[in-house]
Chains A and B, each alone.
Chain A
Amino acid sequence: MKEKYSRRALLKALGVGAGMLPILNNEWASAATAGTATAAGGMPKRFIAIAITNGIYQKNWWQAANGLDLTTGTLLPILTPLAPFRSKLLIPHNIAIQNVFNSNNYGGHFGYPCMLTGTQKGTSASIDTLIAQSVPNVPNAQLNLGCRPSNSHLSWKAGGVANTPNTSPSKVFTQLFSGVNLSPAQVSTTQARRKSVLDLVNSQLTAFQGVVGADDKVKIQSHLDSVRGIEKALTGEVLTVGCAPPTLGATVDFTQVGNFPTFVSLMMKLAATSVTCGITRAVTIELIDDGGGNSLTFPWLSVSTQNYHAIAHQGAGAAADKTTIDTWWHTQFATLLGILDGAAEGPGTALDNSCVLIANDMQEGNTHYDKNVPWLIAGGCGGFFKTGRVVELNNAANNQVLTTILHAMGLSTVASVGDMYTGNVDQQLGA
């Protein structure tokens, strides 16, 4: 699985001529009619979840002594990269991945599928899926990105059906942006061809679904939905102004660990631009889920040559290294937040209209504990959240935070997410 490309080489390798390029699908103009998930001024609300594991060295992240006001005073080293956005940050402090804690399974990595579903093992859809489903007319509403091979899944299409993260920047680029350079005539030719092909695929899948067993019908339904999604995208509007996709850059072998920073940076930019260009509404970015297996090393940082998982497990014994690594992760988050905050939307920025959730599946690497997990929200989600502060949630289940995020995104009638823990933390986190 080597990925070595330049954009030109990529297109050549794919054998794709200009007329064959995927079309950029933009429903920006129809955002105002997309219903619930709309911020003031007609701008769409966007949700981005960044998932990471192995905890944070919390003594260098945030401590009660720092006070609940994030807008003043000294930020600890790990949060320092987010200083430019400090008034737009919200720490929902003391959350538990409660369903996994209850399961009596050894916590930590087992919390990963629970983070966005509120279920032990991904037995219902994750909130990014629910958000995307709430805007059925937006063709590429959901985008799931990954930066490393993953041991478990963050995003779930439905109970037991995971969304595979896309780990190829070139494929993401092609899916989202490569229509930018097409003429209207090229676009309509490509649309007509694809429609004729996909219409037949659609009818073949429907017939096939009628033959297979009940369990397999679910699999075919996912395929069918996806094909219909592509078809729907064909009717989307073609982007003509204002969207500048990131440059894929020179040839890089992304399987080499030394190139991981370049890879992560590119994924952050693709995710942020997909939002600022109005293409996507719910994005997940999985940075790493090593699940205790073979993990990442950080040759570009001055830290131990052990892998991330092993460093994290040492807790205070490797505090300096873990702090350096955690700070580096936050620098990557800052790349994404910077792009969002640099895109003016109405009276504010794209960040103001978004909810960026940075979620970790364990408290500290040495304990792998599922309580008091370090989560952070950036962006007010169109004025829903009161940011610039830390809110003590007193061991609230992550389900309640997920429900509140859905409310913030405009899915105001949702009563609960996942298993067992109904209710929300709207009042605590809200403006």
Chain B
Amino acid sequence: MAGSAGSGTPNGTGSQSSGTGGPNGSGASSGGPITTPGTAATADPTLAGSMVLRHLTQEEYINTVRDLLGDTSTQAINVPGELPIAEFDTFPFPEPSVIGSTEANSYEGLAEALATNITSKIGSILTCTPTAGDTAGETACLATFLKTFGARAYRRPLTAAETQGFQNLYQTGRTTLALPFNGAIALIVEEMLQSPGFLYHWEQGPTPTMHDATNPNVIVLDPYALANRLSYFLTSTMPDQTLLAAAAAGQLTTADQVATQAKRLLQDPAGHASAGVQNFFAQLLQITTLPTVSKDMTTYKNWTPALQTAMDAEFRAFFSSNILTGSGLFADLFTSKTSSVNKDLAAVYGLSGVSGTQMQQVTLDANRSGFLTMPAFLTVNGGANNSNGVYRGHAVYMQLLCHALTPPQNVVVPTPPPLTPGETSRQSFAAHSQAACAQGCHNLMDGYGFSFEHYDGIGQYRTLDNGSPVDSTATVHLDGQDQNITDAVQLSNLLSTSAEARKCFATQWVRYAVARPDTDADAASIDAAYSAFASANYNIRDLLVGVTTSRTFRYRTPSPGEVLP
């Protein structure tokens, strides 16, 4: 099964207009409002959403300079990061901030450091080595450099005006700054790394704008923009040579061509697709906050940086191995008991016989089921010294079921006092869902959260909480009906085949792919991606290919005021 992305699924050749047959169970009747767009019946298949102007994320920046310059020295702490998720935000992915002075200073420092590094190995980005004093040879080499390296740094060919700007900078470097040839090349690299062409996702090639025949308000995504969208979506880094060549040759035009490239990337030729898949889940479930989660080290004496690292590694590897080389099935994410642990993590699981710091494959016991019972998820959504049913319920309700919550009205909300002897975490929280003011929110999500009561603040299984038996039974409103569950294992089983969860999952991938909240213009595309997912027995690889061939991935609506080429 390895690498068989899109195994035998019709992946929407040109038929983005899946107008009919949208997924059922859109769950409008359940708890809170669902944020997924309208049903297929109203979705206009000719629409496509807008393209967000955003700069490289922290991870994209690090990966891109790795692939562009072969430089792996960049430390995350030095790279501008993303804004944290606001508490009631239904778009779960961190968004890059606007570039202000903090960010601009950071990019300058990074560019200077990377340019210094490349100076001593400039041959790795040059295909020519002019001899000193050979002015004509230097000029020719500069031109070659701008054409080849420039197209990689900007992830599209440079325009004539851009090329001229770099030639001028080169002259300044050679004269005013008295730099040798290699030094002037490094100066150009330093500039490129701070330029909008490198920093922003706005990869417009030389092709004139093509308006769509069926809807003139919608334009075809430029082949380079598409190559970049595909690459950053699936691999969290810049396009490889094959993809850039396909863009140059006009071979990213049809849905089939895009699907072919998507499947190729999912076969992970450079080992980057695993990073892409992991990135989606780490962001969706906010595992990226793991390093700064604060735990009470008196209660959890085993809470160490090494344990945090192991939790993170287990979580990420679980998704990439299941999706890229495993079955690829949605259900398995919730039910698989195969995972990888090291000694520290084995202790959290209560597993014996695991030694060393290396992660090794294990089969987890009956108290675990898929990613929701993994320590990474339970820790990020746990309290400092106990479980936290609200955080966990909130994560399932919003991230996995795509519900919206609105901030409560102006009321005084008590939180539980410290536990009295024998009082469980759940009992202390239970009061708030009785308060009339809190019922609107907490009744909707707390059931999900309380099913996790068997796991403490760092995900260790327990039968007693503060000396009293744990109660993990709950009633949740899922797929249009109230369902009684005994614990999180049973919740995971329910979610593994839930129509609401599947639909939400497809929606989240579309949001991630276009890096913005979805709108009505995306509704038909979400349905199309979902159809690809559903007709492949809910195989995630097919869903991902379906996302890339969808209308909103390959077309866009221009922004007001935009000047089209």
Interface residues in chain A, defined as those with a beta carbon under 8 Å from any beta carbon in chain B = 1-3, 13-17, 20, 22, 101, 103-107, 109-110, 142, 144, 148-152, 157, 161-166, 168, 170-171, 174-175, 192-194, 196-198, 200-201, 203-205, 207-208, 210-220, 222-223, 225-227, 229-230, 253, 255-258, 291-297, 299, 304-307, 309-310, 313-314, 317-318, 366-369
Contact = CB atoms under 8 A, between A and B. Distances in A.
Contact of A293 (B87, B105, B109, B190): B87
Given A292-B87, A310-B384, A164 B78 contact: no
B366 interface: no
Residue with the highest number of chain A CB atoms closer than 10 Å, among B102, B165, B297 = B102
Interface residues of B, number: 84
Interface of B: 53, 73, 75-78, 80-81, 83-84, 86-87, 97-106, 108-109, 111-114, 116-117, 161-162, 165-166, 168-169, 172-173, 176-177, 187, 190-191, 194-197, 200, 202, 204, 289, 291-299, 305, 380, 383-385, 391, 407-418, 558-563
A163 B80 CA distance: 12
Top 5 A-B pairs, shortest CB-CB distance: A213-B559, A214-B561, A313-B415, A226-B104, A305-B296
A2 B104 contact: no
B409 A196 contact: no
Contacts of A216: 53, 559, 562
Contact of B104 (A162, A194, A223): A223
Nearest to A299: B297
B75 to A, nearest CB: 6
Contact of A212 (B97, B411, B562): B562
B294 A257 contact: yes
Contact of A164 (B80, B177, B293): B80
Given A16-B116, A161-B98, A205-B196, 14 more contacts: A144-B102, A157-B100, A163-B101, A164-B97, A170-B77, A196-B177, A201-B195, A213-B559, A214-B559, A222-B98, A294-B380, A297-B385, A313-B415, A368-B413
A304 B87 CA distance: 25
Contacts of A214: 559-561
Contacts of B176: 192, 196
A168 B101 CA distance: 14
Contacts of B99: 219, 222-223, 226
A346 B528 CA distance: 72
B398 to A, nearest CB: 13
A230 B108 contact: yes
B100 A294 contact: no
Contacts of B83: 162, 164
A249 B174 CA distance: 40
Contact of A314 (B106, B191, B202, B417): B417
B384 A164 contact: no
Contacts of B415: 309-310, 313-314
A15 B104 contact: no
Contacts of A104: 409-410
Nearest to A292: B87
Contact of B105 (A14, A161, A175, A318): A175
B305 A253 contact: yes
Contacts of A15: 73, 113-114, 116-117
A165 B100 CA distance: 10
A308 B87 CA distance: 17
Contact of B103 (A164, A217, A306): A164
A208 B202 CA distance: 10
28 contacts: A1-B77, A15-B113, A16-B113, A104-B410, A106-B410, A149-B84, A151-B87, A157-B98, A165-B102, A168-B78, A171-B77, A171-B102, A196-B169, A197-B111, A197-B187, A197-B190, A198-B194, A204-B196, A223-B99, A223-B100, A227-B194, A293-B391, A294-B380, A304-B418, A305-B385, A306-B384, A310-B415, A317-B417
